[in-house]
Structure formats: C-alpha cells, structure tokens
Amino acid sequence: MSAFDGLPGDWELVVGLEVHVELATVTKLFSASPNRFGDEPNTNIDPVTLGLPGALPVLNRQAVELAMRIGLALNCTVQPCTFHRKNYFYPDMPKAYQISQYDQPLNVDGFLALPDGTRIGIERAHMEEDTGKSTHFGGAGGRIHGSDYSLIDFNRAGVPLVEIVSRPDIRSAEQARQYVTELRAILLAVGASDAKMEEGSMRVDANVSVHKPGTEFGTRCEIKNVNSVRSIGRAIEYEARRQIDLLEGGDKVRQETRHWDEGDGRTHTLRSKEDADDYRYFLEPDLVPVAPSAEWIAEVRAALPMLPAARRARLAEAAGVAADSEAAMVVVDRGQDDYVLAVGDAGGDIGRALVHVKEAWADSPSVPAADLAKLTTMEVAGKLTATQAKTVVAELIDNDGGDAEAIAKAKGFEAMAADSLGPLVDQAIAENGDAWAKFCAGEGKAMGALVGAVMKLSQGKADGKAVTALLNSRRA
C-alpha cells in the first residue's frame, strides 16, 4: 500500500493512534462529583478528586459498562482486569499518580474497519482517570514557556477516560483521518462519549515513523496537541516528511514526543523519551480487580445498537450503491438511513430516496416517509423528470409533507410519455437542420442544442434521457 501523494521515493508511513475518550457518565471514575464540562472552576471537587490525605477511590460501575461497550464495539475481548498506579509529578495530577490500567486492561485485541473494509488493529482499550487543567499566565499565547504562573482547575480531575491504542497498521494520513472519524461515529452510536475534539472529550496522539518496505519499522515520534481531524492529516504528513528529510540527510530520528503547532504547521520537540520519568507502575492497593461476568458482557453486547459500518452496508445494499460511497457515508453519518429505509418500506424507491435525502436535509427529514415514497415511485415510473421531482420535493419540505401526485398535477408536471415524444423530436430535427447535421457527423456537442429544442417544444415536460435515446436512434 503506498503512502499519500507526495511521499518521496518508496518511503512507507507507519502510524499508530492513541485516542483518549471522556466517558459520558454522570459522575467521575472514582468519586461521586459531577462529570461536567464548563462549570465554574473547582466546583466539582471532593476529597478523592483533590487527592486529599486519607481519600480512597471507589469505581463507578457505569464507567465500566461504557468502557465495555467501547471494547465490544471495537471487536475486543473483554477480560478480568486490574488497576495500577502510574507515578509522576505534575501540578494537575492531584495524587502525583494516575490510576490507570497496565498489564491487565479491560479490553484487548480488537479491530476497527475503515469504510473501505481495511482493518486497523486495536491493541487495547483501557480505563484511566483524567487530570485537572492548568492555564498559564504571563507568557506568549498562554503557553507554558515564559509563563509567570499557572492556575489549576480540578473539575476535570477524575473524569473517566478510555484510552484506545491502535496497532501501527495505519499507512496514510487519509487512513488516520478515516480511523478517527469512524471511531468517533462508533463512540456516538454506542453512547459512550460525545467525543468532541474541540472540547477535549476526544484527544488524539499519533505515533509516526517511516521506513522502506521490507525493512524494520523506523524510530517513532509521538505527536501531541492535534485538535481536529484535519490537523491529524496535516501533522502526520509534516512529521513524515520531517523524518524522511532527516534520514535522507544521513541523520537519525530521535525517539521523542513532539508538539504539533497548528499555527506554523510544524511539530516541535516537547521532550525526549530518554529523559522520561520512570513511572514505577504497581498494582493499585486501594482498588480490587474487576471481573465482568459472562452475563454482564452478554447483556452489554446484546444492547449495542447497529454500528455505522453495519448501517452503511445495510443502506448500500438496499440502495444499490457502494458502502463507502459518499451518499451512503453522509446519510448514515447524519443518522438519516433509518428514514431512507422507511421510504422503501412505504413502497418508495430507495435509490431515489437516498439522493433526495442527501441533498435536501442536513439532519432529520421533515417529510413523512410515505409522502416521499410516493414521489420516488412517480420518478421511476417516468411520470416526473428529475428536475420536476426536485421541485416537488421542495414543496413537500415547505409544507412538511403532502401528496406528490396532487402537487405535480397542480404544477402541470407530467413527464411526457416516450411515444408522444417522437413527433416532437422529429419536429426539432426539422427545425434545427444545422445542429442535426453536425450531430450526425459525430459532433456530440450538437446534442445539447437538439435536446434543448425538444424541451422547449414540450414546455419542459420531456424527460431528458428519453429524448437523448430517441435522437440516438434517429441518427443510427
């Protein structure tokens, strides 16, 4: 598989993504303070959140449930698991350790299928707690560098996270974008998170390396601060080229963490992995293992809704389009697919319904399915031209529904029957001799003038396709 356009030589890109997702629970992971975004600073706090002396964590059952939904939706195995302490100092870390999962995570060995069917392996999806938030003052642009002081808000501390770690199976920036987009759609579908990158409830870090096919994977760098799907692509592409330049210049890629700067479109060194803290992981003594029963896992699995990939496949088959076609992807993403299928159930044509729905509505269609169904039936029966159908749809929307036949009649729309077209076509040929001569000589462009003439003669009631067919047969 080749990389995106522009990657020089035969260099191959290798990307793994680590996505942190905030779970949509009411309370935090280990304490009963609200899990809410946007509240006044330090108003969702308790002894556990602040890491006060003597405080102890107690696990939120709903967080485990949502984490299991994510794991099952990503085709993981759900297994008995434990929590570990990851020890390091940072002011937004109230205990100076983060409770996370280490060698026994909840979900392992799954995959996420991209729209074209390519599977990206999921190594694990484990639970951990979020940190507080620090804001920096005195430096340029609110950055740490050159700041005079920082202020810490612990509202976010203790919010439940699931960290989803992919295998390094991604081979292009476009695949990375698709992975994140699809992952987000899955998270929304199962109700595990609102996954808003702009609010920080979904955060993506990319591990990027390059190599030549047939050789070992190269040294990888971790890229942080990527805050939108578009940035993911830009950052990966920049980083790949940066590494290739280094390697082609005879230098080595240093294993490190880099910070993506959206403003200047580059990554910058944040810290070298070699200086990294020793996290001294050990089993969290204040918590006990979690062993979800087979019944609980089965319940969660059974309650999973149809996932986006399955929805696209279902819609695609019914509408006769490809599952990764733009129409199928857009309509499923907007949640309009059930409606399109309902139009089919009401006797309408699903293919036509798909086209109309995609064009007419950004979200919930406002017209009863049966009404749209009638319209599509008229279309495929040849009673309406495509243009006429669009006009009828517009009227249906204006009135939140209606009788397509009545509307068409009121507007005087009737597609002409093909056999009554013949005389009009002959008349147009007779009246447009030059165009006809050119058309017969093989100039396809002359067709347009002839079709236009027929449309005029028919007062717009001729179906363009039928006219074209007739002209072709006259010429033959």
Q: Looking only at residues 306 through 365 of this chain, which bind another protein when binding is defined by CB under 8 A? A: none
Sheet with strand 282-283: strands edge to edge: 97-100, 84-87, 282-283
The verdict on 198 binding another protein (CB under 8 A) reads: no
The verdict on 11 binding another protein (CB under 8 A) reads: no
- For 316, the token pair is 């695609």
Give the separation between CA 148 and CA 154, rounded to whole angstroms: 20
End-to-end, the C-alpha distance of the chain in Å comes to 47
**100 φ/ψ sector (left φ>0, alpha ψ -120 to 50, else beta):** beta
Assess contact for 318 and 344: CB atoms under 8 A.
yes
Min separation Cβ 357 and another protein, Å = 37
Min separation Cβ 21 and another protein, Å = 17
The verdict on 55 binding another protein (CB under 8 A) reads: yes
Q: Site for another protein (CB under 8 A): which residue of 13, 45, 165, 392?
A: 45
Q: Site for another protein (CB under 8 A): which residue of 58, 306, 310, 381?
A: 58
Restricted to residues 129-168, the positions that interact with another protein (CB under 8 A) are: 134-136, 138, 144-145, 147-154
The 210-249 contact track toward another protein, x by CB under 8 A, reads --------------x-------------------------
Which amino acid would we find at residue 350? I
Min separation Cβ 39 and another protein, Å = 11
Q: Site for another protein (CB under 8 A): which residue of 3, 12, 60, 124?
A: 60
Nearer to another protein, 156 or 383 (CB): 156
With contacts defined by CB under 8 A, name the span among 40-48, 109-117, 182-190, 237-245 that binds another protein. 40-48
Restricted to residues 279-298, the positions that interact with another protein (CB under 8 A) are: 280, 282-283, 285-292
The verdict on 46 binding another protein (CB under 8 A) reads: yes
Q: How many residues does the chain have?
A: 476
The verdict on 102 binding another protein (CB under 8 A) reads: no
Nearer to another protein, 46 or 262 (CB): 46
With contacts defined by CB under 8 A, name the span among 23-31, 326-334, 405-413, 449-457 that binds another protein. 23-31
Min separation Cβ 227 and another protein, Å = 15
Min separation Cβ 255 and another protein, Å = 14
With contacts defined by CB under 8 A, name the span among 1-9, 88-96, 101-109, 306-314 that binds another protein. 88-96
Nearer to another protein, 293 or 459 (CB): 293
Restricted to residues 384-413, the positions that interact with another protein (CB under 8 A) are: none
Q: Site for another protein (CB under 8 A): which residue of 8, 77, 88, 117?
A: 88
Helix (H) or strand (E) holding 259, with range, is strand 256-261
DSSP string, 125-185: EEEEE---EEEEESSGGG-STT-SEEEEE-TTTT-EEEEEEE-S-B-SHHHHHHHHHHHHH
The verdict on 87 binding another protein (CB under 8 A) reads: yes
With contacts defined by CB under 8 A, name the span among 33-41, 110-118, 338-346, 392-400 that binds another protein. 33-41
Between the alpha carbon of residue 63 and those of residues 40, 91, 163, the distances in Å are 24, 25, 13
DSSP string, 391-419: HHHHHHHHTT---HHHHHHHTT--PPPHH
Q: Rounded to 5 degrees, what are φ and ψ at 247?
A: -70, -40
Between the alpha carbon of residue 336 and those of residues 115, 177, 189, 368, 391, the distances in Å are 17, 22, 13, 13, 21
Number of shown-chain residues binding another protein (CB under 8 A):
75
With contacts defined by CB under 8 A, name the span among 21-29, 315-323, 356-364, 384-392 that binds another protein. 21-29
Min separation Cβ 109 and another protein, Å = 22
Nearer to another protein, 182 or 205 (CB): 205
DSSP string, 260-302: EETTTTEEEEEEEGGG------EE-TTS--B---HHHHHHHHH
Assess contact for 34 and 26: CB atoms under 8 A.
yes
The verdict on 41 binding another protein (CB under 8 A) reads: yes
- Structure letter (DSSP) for residue 199: G
Min separation Cβ 59 and another protein, Å = 5
β-pairing verdict for 149-153 and 202-211: unpaired
Give the separation between CA 356 and CA 371, rounded to whole angstroms: 13
Nearer to another protein, 52 or 380 (CB): 52
The verdict on 105 binding another protein (CB under 8 A) reads: no
β-pairing verdict for 133-137 and 221-226: unpaired
Min separation Cβ 281 and another protein, Å = 8
Restricted to residues 259-278, the positions that interact with another protein (CB under 8 A) are: 270-271, 275-278
Q: 399: number of CA atoms within 13 Å, CB side?
A: 12
The verdict on 44 binding another protein (CB under 8 A) reads: yes
Q: Which residues contact 170 (CB under 8 A, 6 or more apart)?
A: 13, 14, 15, 16, 17, 120, 176, 179
Min separation Cβ 48 and another protein, Å = 9
